[in-house]
Amino acid sequence: MKIIEPRTLKGFRDIFSDEIIAREEIVSKIKRVYESYGFSPLATPALEYRDILVGYGEEANKQIYTFRDPDGSGVGLRYDLTSPLSRVIAQYKNLEMPFRRYQIQEVYRYDKPDKGRFREFLQFDIDTVGTSSVIADAEIIAAMYQSIEALGVSGFKIRVNNRKILEELIRFSGIEPTLSISVFRVVDKLDKLGLDAVLAELGDGRTDASGAEIRGLRLKKQQIDRVKEFIMLPRKNRKEALQSVTSILGDCEGIEELREIDGYLEGLGIDEDKVVIDFVVARGLDYYTGPVYEAILTDAPRYGSVMGGGRYDRLIGQFAGVDIPATGASIGVDRLVSAMQKLGLVKGRKNNIDVLITVMVKDKLVEYNRLALKLRENNINTEVYIGEGGIGKQLKYADKKEIPIALLIGEDEFQEGVVSVKDLKAKERAEKEIGDRRKWLEARIGQRKVKTSKIVTEIKNILNQK
């Protein structure tokens, strides 16, 4: 028999229980916030017709997985969750507007794999479709703010801008409109590369740290000076930022929209240190048409943006024939999980098992499973050991799987109507505190006998101490 080499595709990975549990913990907290705002779930197919997956821009479109199915149809794996949503809006014309949805599904990008960057990853989106009011944008920002707070993160910043202001920058600087997207992308690198590198890319170009030549946009000196004046505007708080940008661009629709968003956020008491106006934020996708926003964790900046989005009023029109306003935000869940693990904000349990029932008397399997059923009916996740080996091997199994509680029931316990409860986490704490192993064994830390009728209460008391 030919042995098939077990392997995964480049950029893809297997995900084990500890990360899945961390994912679920984070997603459930965010989902509660989104549902409190009235967003409802939606799911779409992983495969779409190739022409549905458009509108991202030339570079992004190159990252879409496309192929022909057995019928010869051109199909592709979803690149994000926004184009599938746009298709849904155009296809189902009886949806109530505004349409508010959240969606949690994998997306696929033929990107260069790197540490923490994969070609398949989980995205979590919210979007409001069918209203041009910037209150919808402000609401998305507020939901992002509350979501991060719900995760227990204190060090974060949500940066807000408006593509319309960036378009005014192009006019103000006398730059050819055909270069606008390229200019936006360079300006967006300010925090990552620094001012000198950005100015160099606007001009003749530069050599990066690896020695590679980065081509510049070859703007005129006067144009570069105007862009520099813009990106260096004072912005200690949202109101100062709006005043300073008005002083050079004059009043425009983009500034007025940010004023309205600021008023909404101020009315909600949202901290000015947490939600800031930052005129270099552009976001990478070409379809944004209005306010844009992104969230970074200030204590883990190397992870970059963990949430981001904006208004895209013309994307749905590609499918519907008429423009339908929309705004939303996306979370790269895997990146967020990694950042929170780095910050120690996710416990990262290996599994969801609360209790292991050890098997000490083989002909009592029915009794062991009857007890397990009682615990499960009381929302206590319980595993009955079904492997080989004695009590020592079974307790090592519980230790390795990080199961917090083990139940030991031998012949004596069955006769007495009791259960020996072993709090394995208490054992770990005691081992650190009691250096002498003989004293530790004599103390029998973390183990006591409990009447079977009171076992549920005892286990819940132990679990509540964790």
The pLDDT of residue 443: 52
SS3 of residue 343 by DSSP: coil
Dihedral sign for Cα atoms in the order 318, 324, 325, 328: negative
The pLDDT of residue 433: 56
Distance, CA of 354 to CA of 69 (rounded, Å): 45
Is residue 264 annotated as involved in ligand binding? Answer: no
Is residue 312 annotated as involved in ligand binding? Answer: no
Q: Is residue 88 domain-shared with residue 223, that is, in the same domain? A: yes
Domains: count for the chain: 2
Kindly report the CATH number assigned to the domain that includes residue 160: 3.30.930.10
Is residue 79 annotated as involved in ligand binding? Answer: no
Q: Is residue 28 domain-shared with residue 61, that is, in the same domain? A: yes
Kindly report the CATH number assigned to the domain that includes residue 374: 3.40.50.800
Q: Is residue 275 domain-shared with residue 165, that is, in the same domain? A: yes
For the chain, 466 residues long, the average pLDDT of each consecutive 10-residue run is 94 93 95 98 96 75 90 93 95 96 97 84 98 97 97 95 95 93 90 90 88 89 94 90 94 96 95 93 86 95 92 93 96 93 84 95 95 97 95 94 95 94 77 52 71 95 85
Q: Is residue 85 domain-shared with residue 155, that is, in the same domain? A: yes
Count CB-CB contacts under 10 A for residue 62: 11
Residue 64 resides in a domain:
yes
Is residue 80 annotated as involved in ligand binding? Answer: yes
End-to-end CA, the chain: 50
The secondary structure of residue 4, as a DSSP letter, is: P
The pLDDT of residue 427: 59
Q: Is 417 left (phi over 0), alpha (psi -120 to 50) or beta?
A: left
Q: Is residue 428 domain-shared with residue 338, that is, in the same domain? A: no
**In angstroms, how far is CA 451 from the centroid of its own chain?**
45
The pLDDT of residue 42: 98
Identify the domain boundary among 303, 319, 342: 342
Q: List the domain range (segments joined by +) for residue 190.
A: 17-342
pTM attached to this predicted model? 0.87
Is residue 127 annotated as involved in ligand binding? Answer: yes
Q: Is residue 306 domain-shared with residue 446, that is, in the same domain? A: no
Is residue 32 annotated as involved in ligand binding? Answer: no
Is residue 123 annotated as involved in ligand binding? Answer: yes
Overall size of the chain counted in residues: 466
Distance, CA of 364 to CA of 40 (rounded, Å): 48
The pLDDT of residue 437: 47
Identify the domain boundary among 342, 364, 393: 342
Question: 408-416 contacts: CB < 8 A, separation 24 or more?
Answer: 408/358, 408/360, 408/447, 409/357, 409/358, 409/360, 409/361, 409/364, 409/367, 409/368, 409/371, 410/360, 410/361, 411/360, 411/361, 413/449, 414/361, 414/364, 414/367, 416/449
Q: Provide the H-helix boundaries in 101-237.
A: 134-150, 163-173, 180-187, 190-193, 195-202, 221-231
385-416 in b/e form (b: 16+ CB < 10 A) is beeeeeeeebbebbeeeebbbbbbbeeebeee
Q: Is residue 184 domain-shared with residue 293, that is, in the same domain? A: yes
Residue 217 resides in a domain:
yes
Q: Is residue 98 domain-shared with residue 43, that is, in the same domain? A: yes
